[in-house]
Copies of this chain bind each other. A is one copy, B any other.
Amino acid sequence: MDMHSATTQGSPSPAITVQDTIVKATEILDMAGDELMIAQQAVEECVRDFPLTDAEMRRLQKLDVATQTVASVARVLRNLMSLSPTGVSDSVSLTHVYDGVTLGEVVQVLKGEHAPDVSVAAGEIDLF
C-alpha cells in the first residue's frame, strides 16, 4: 500500500469561499478592536499622572484613530456582504458600503480621494 498516496487522498487541500474569508476577516477585526479597547484603557490609566508633551499626546492619539479605523473597516466589510454581491467585479452602492462609517479619511479612501493627515486636529481633542 502506498501510504503517501493514501495520506494525500485523506487530506484534500482545505478550501474557503471568498464570502467566508471576508466574514471571518471581519470577525478577526472585531477581535483586534476588543484588544485595542483594552490597550487604550490601559494606556489611559498608565499615563493618567504622567505629564505628556503635545507631541506625545498626538502620537498616543493615533491609538484612538487606529481603533476607529479598524472598526470602520469591519463595518465596511459587513456592509459589503450585506449587499449580497455574487461576482467580485459586481458594482455596489458606494454610499451603502460606507454607511455608518464616521471617519472622514476612511470614506475618502473608499471614494478614491486623497486621505488627509489625520494628526492635524489632534491637539483639539482629549487623549481618547
Residues of A within 8 A of B (CB): 13-19, 21-22, 24-25, 27-29, 31-33, 35-36, 38-39, 41-43, 45-47, 50, 52, 56, 59-60, 62-63, 65-66, 69-70, 72-73, 76-77, 80, 85-95, 97, 105-106, 109-112, 115, 118
A-B contact pairs, 10 of them (CB 8 A): A13-B93, A16-B110, A17-B90, A21-B76, A21-B80, A25-B73, A31-B69, A35-B62, A35-B118, A38-B62
Given contacts A17-B90, A46-B46, 9 further A-B contacts (CB under 8 A): A16-B91, A16-B92, A19-B88, A29-B69, A36-B66, A38-B62, A46-B60, A50-B50, A88-B88
Q: Are A18 and B62 within 8 A (Cβ)?
A: no
How far is B24's CA from A90's CA once the two chains are assembled, in angstroms? 15
CB of A103, distance to nearest CB on chain B (Å): 9
What chain B residues lie within 8 Å of A22 (beta carbons)? 22, 77, 80
